[in-house]
A and B are shown apart, each in its own frame.
Chain A
Amino acid sequence: MLDRELCENILEMESPWNILKVDKRANQKRIDIWVSTTSARRGVGQWFRRSLSPRMNNDVAIWQHLSFGECRVYIHASLSEDRSVAWLGEKGMPFSRSLSRRVVELFSERLSYRAICSLLDVDLDDIWAIKHALDNGDLQLGDSLSPTHLERKANLKEQTHTQKSSRVPAIEDTIWIQVINNSIDLNVRQLGLKLLLNRVRTQFHHANDDETKMLRVNELRKYFVKHEHFLQYELKQMTH
């Protein structure tokens, strides 16, 4: 049995919310957590029985939340509660708000649905449900994460880079593979980049599929984009 207080800490749960029950099913990598703003045990037994099996009935829903290690986490709560907290979701949605945000962020990174399933340990059907909800405007995550906003943000980023004459090569540029394969003699000055490059090279070498390799390339490029101002020495060697 997992400690309720520990789970409350991990979820960063604050009053009046509390955890009524935590269930780690034997031999399953799954944790079920029942939460409520009502204190303690009043009517809990009946509430549990209502909420245990279906994903959603009239007033109780179950949302998959961000995993704890290798365990999937499912949050059970009444739909009558205020659901503005990150670990609950929208009515009819499979994921908590936090997990939905992560999925949408990964959509914006143009990861494949299969890669997202693998990264977040979620089911493909549920990814489709999120995609469908997004397409139909049924999922509200706030303006900052709406797909149109993300698209605009991506375009704006691209424009800003163009305006600034960014020297970071495009993701498709073969220079990234050359850097990772160590086939160009890149002299790196910055400690963070040295350590990251070492990790990327190792993971790239062990990757079995192109998608995973692209993730590594993207990770390296993102570092250059973020730290471009201080990587002029390295970029000069790459764009020479």
Chain B
Amino acid sequence: MDATITSGLVSLQTAVDLINRGHCLVIAGDEWLLTQLPPGQWIAGSIPYFMGNEGGVMTKDKLFVHDFSVWADGCTIKSYMVEQLDRVTNDAAEHGFSIIIMPGGSEVLSSYARNAPNYDDIFSKPIVGWVSGSHLQDVDRVSPIVIDGKYREARNNQAVVMHFSLPHNKIALLDIVNLFEQGEGAEIRFPVSGFSAGECLIDGKRQHFSDFLSKNKIDTRLPLVADYCGAMVNVSIKSVDDTMGNVHFYAPVFNDIAYRMALPVNDYVGAFEDGISTSNERWVFSCNCILNYLFMELEGKQTGNITGPITFGEIAYQLLNQTLVYLSIEDY
């Protein structure tokens, strides 16, 4: 990575050099590499999937680095246990942004997913980030981790956050690219919020959600989509337990939200390039979802010139699924 580039895939040695030169980094990579990094001003999460300059790639030999050194003067790093998580917005700068990484499958992620939409000031202070993971073959035996570079201890039960304050002539803007839209099928409502669902209301009629999926031959690679005043928010289906009649999700469904199954996306790469309507020159951070990588077969394919980690969940204020999130810094 040369000095003019603020993000990209790098070797372990390059990452070490950047840290030793005092750079302020958000790092994604395999746990083995992350634990070899020296102490410094960085946070990291485990993930071996990336969107690099050459397209989608799985590698345990490189690290993806987002370099925020230009804003380092206003940077603080904090870790949050589940009990402290709602303080994240209090700790965030009044005028700035925050980058958060949470371990996949953790209690802290579950709490954030369920409660963040109701935190004070959550939508007033840009908070963006991702959920750490592991190689898909290791999902059942490897626990995703995050690391605060000051202490270099891998944690599977804490969130790590870099809070940045910005000069008053700059502003951080957070947005998403979600290629999924609500289909025209039934309206689906869930009586209870949570990461799994049994019974639900399909166009007002009680039915097991698993029965609805199987009877209608729904492609469960497609997410549920909710319309949040124009923002399409996905909830992806993790698994369907037909024997127990339960459906499990990668993000919680909420009992006060109406969902519909997504319309299929036939040409993801093409739709993606169309979906990025504006220049991404001012993007300082982005990440995309592992499910998009898998279902859209992004390995070896480029999605415009967008790079970043491919993650087990994306955060744009709240937890999202199957969505690209990005942060840009604009002149104020």
> Which A residues touch B174, using CB under 8 A?
191-192
> Chain A interface: which of B191-199, B225-233, B234-242?
B225-233
Q: Are A223 and B231 in contact (CB under 8 A)?
A: no
Q: Are A195 and B118 in contact (CB under 8 A)?
A: no
Q: Are A229 and B124 in contact (CB under 8 A)?
A: no
Q: With A195-B123, A195-B317, A229-B332 as given contacts, are A202 and B256 in contact (CB-CB < 8 Å)?
A: yes
User: Smallest CB-CB separation from A68: which chain B residue?
Assistant: B83
Tell me whether A198 is interfacial, beta carbon within 8 Å.
Answer: yes
Tell me whether B9 is interfacial, beta carbon within 8 Å.
Answer: no
User: Smallest CB-CB separation from A186: which chain B residue?
Assistant: B229
> Which A residues touch B229, using CB under 8 A?
188, 193-195, 197-198, 201
Tell me whether A226 is interfacial, beta carbon within 8 Å.
Answer: yes
Tell me whether A1 is interfacial, beta carbon within 8 Å.
Answer: no
> Which B residues touch A191, using CB under 8 A?
174-176, 231, 316-317
> Which B residues touch A199, using CB under 8 A?
117-118, 123
Q: Are B123 and A223 in contact (CB under 8 A)?
A: yes
> Which B residues touch A196, using CB under 8 A?
123-124
Tell me whether A6 is interfacial, beta carbon within 8 Å.
Answer: yes
* Interface residue range, chain A: 20 to 34
Q: Are A194 and B126 in contact (CB under 8 A)?
A: no
Q: Are A192 and B228 in contact (CB under 8 A)?
A: no
Q: Are B231 and A6 in contact (CB under 8 A)?
A: no
> Which A residues touch B72, using CB under 8 A?
none
In whole Å, how far is B296's beta carbon from the nearest beta carbon of chain A? 22
Tell me whether A26 is interfacial, beta carbon within 8 Å.
Answer: no
8 Å CB interface, B191-245 against A: 228-231
Q: Can you list 24 A-B contacts (CB < 8 A)?
A: A10-B84, A187-B230, A188-B229, A190-B173, A191-B174, A191-B175, A191-B176, A191-B317, A192-B126, A192-B317, A194-B228, A195-B123, A195-B228, A195-B229, A195-B317, A196-B123, A196-B124, A198-B229, A199-B118, A223-B124, A226-B124, A227-B124, A229-B332, A230-B173
- Given A197-B228, A197-B229, 9 additional A-B pairs, CB 8 A: A10-B84, A190-B173, A191-B174, A191-B231, A193-B123, A194-B228, A194-B229, A196-B123, A222-B124
Binding site for A on B (CB under 8 A): 83-84, 117-118, 123-124, 126, 171, 173-176, 228-231, 256, 316-318, 332
